[in-house]
Structure 1
Amino acid sequence: MQITLGNPAGAPQPLNSYYSQVARVEQADGSALLFVSGQIAEGDTLAEQSRGVFEAIAALLGAHGAILADVISIRTYLTDIDKLAEYGAVRQRFLTGTPPTSMTFEVSRLFRPEAQIEVEVVAAVPAGRAGL
């Protein structure tokens, strides 16, 4: 098993911290699992931030030959669970296939005071896809 940690060029870079955005775990059959760190985005509304989060996730996945349809698990952290429907409407525009496994949590705050949402995902990339 080979594990690659890093921050792909052309994808969003970590904000105010030192960590890897993606862990890529190569499987024996040539497929890979991608573990994408929690993503936040700028915006005044939860919908704007949610859109930015999914755009960032799509860019990170794309750097590894994956697409949003490859997401198999998603964890969402919201600062206001009463806005779940607003987030869900954006999520459904980006994740259009079979829904991944999912967990959603309400948290008192995130590491940036203006952040209303943070999302992390796991994706399964089929063998033969381009990537790092």
Structure 2
Amino acid sequence: MERRRVSSGTEWERTVGYSRAVRVGDRVEVSGTTATDDDGEVIAPDDAAEQTRRAIANVEAGLSEVDATLSDVVRTRLYVTDIDRWEAVGRAHGEAFGEVRPATTMVEVSRLIDPDMLVEVEAVAVVDDG
């Protein structure tokens, strides 16, 4: 089966040995994605909801490169550095996914790679090529 990889262009992909997203057949796996802009800078350092929106937008951009959309997402994982912000993160996730309503897990972690990062999002999509 063909393997299609998406690169975000960061230096870390080659060093760590990962891809932004990988599609094999009808399945797409999107790596942990944070709220960074096109220059790799963290946006909204103290706003968990806005970071969630941006991270999901970045997930969506990766999906689009392998002919998938947010509507194809069947699973997300949300890693947050402060579980007390769960409602803001959850609402932003709900805004993005609406009736898609993927299976979702939210987990508090002690920290992410940058102290300004509050949220990291992973996604799994299944594309109906029907």
Structure 2 length as normaliser, TM-score? 0.84
Q: What value does the CA root-mean-square deviation take over the aligned residues?
A: 1.4
Aligned pairs for 1:1-132 (under 5 A) are 1-7=1-7, 13=8, 15=10, 17-18=12-13, 19-26=18-25, 32-41=26-35, 42-44=43-45, 45-127=47-129
Provide structure 1 residue ranges, at least 5 long, that are not aligned to the other structure.
8-12, 27-31
Contact 2:6 2:66 in 1 (8 A): no
Once the two structures are TM-superposed, the CA of residue 2 in structure 1 deviates from its matched residue by 2.5
**What is the CA deviation profile of residues 52-97 of structure 1, one whole-angstrom value per residue up to 9, with x for unaligned ones?**
1111111111122211111001111000011100011111110012
Kindly indicate which of the two structures has a greater share of residues assigned to helix.
2
Provide structure 2 residue ranges, at least 5 long, that are not aligned to the other structure.
36-42
Once the two structures are TM-superposed, the CA of residue 3 in structure 1 deviates from its matched residue by 2.1
Q: Secondary structure at the match of 2:12?
A: coil
Letter in 2 for 1:21: R
Q: Distance in 2 between matches of 1:38 and 1:96?
A: 21
Once the two structures are TM-superposed, the CA of residue 14 in structure 1 deviates from its matched residue by 5.1
Once the two structures are TM-superposed, the CA of residue 16 in structure 1 deviates from its matched residue by 5.0
Which residue does the alignment assign to 1:10? none
Structure 1 length as normaliser, TM-score? 0.83
Q: Secondary structure at the match of 1:86?
A: helix
Which residue does the alignment assign to 2:38? none
- Quick one: percent identity of the two aligned structures? 34
- Specify whether residues 20 and 108 from structure 1 end up closer, same or farther in structure 2 by C-alpha distance, changes over 3 A only: same
Letter in 2 for 1:123: A
- Specify whether residues 72 and 57 from structure 1 end up closer, same or farther in structure 2 by C-alpha distance, changes over 3 A only: same
Contact 2:73 2:100 in 1 (8 A): no
Q: Secondary structure at the match of 2:76?
A: strand
Deviates more, 1:35-44 or 1:13-22: 13-22
Q: Distance in 1 between matches of 2:119 and 2:10?
A: 15
Once the two structures are TM-superposed, the CA of residue 115 in structure 1 deviates from its matched residue by 0.3
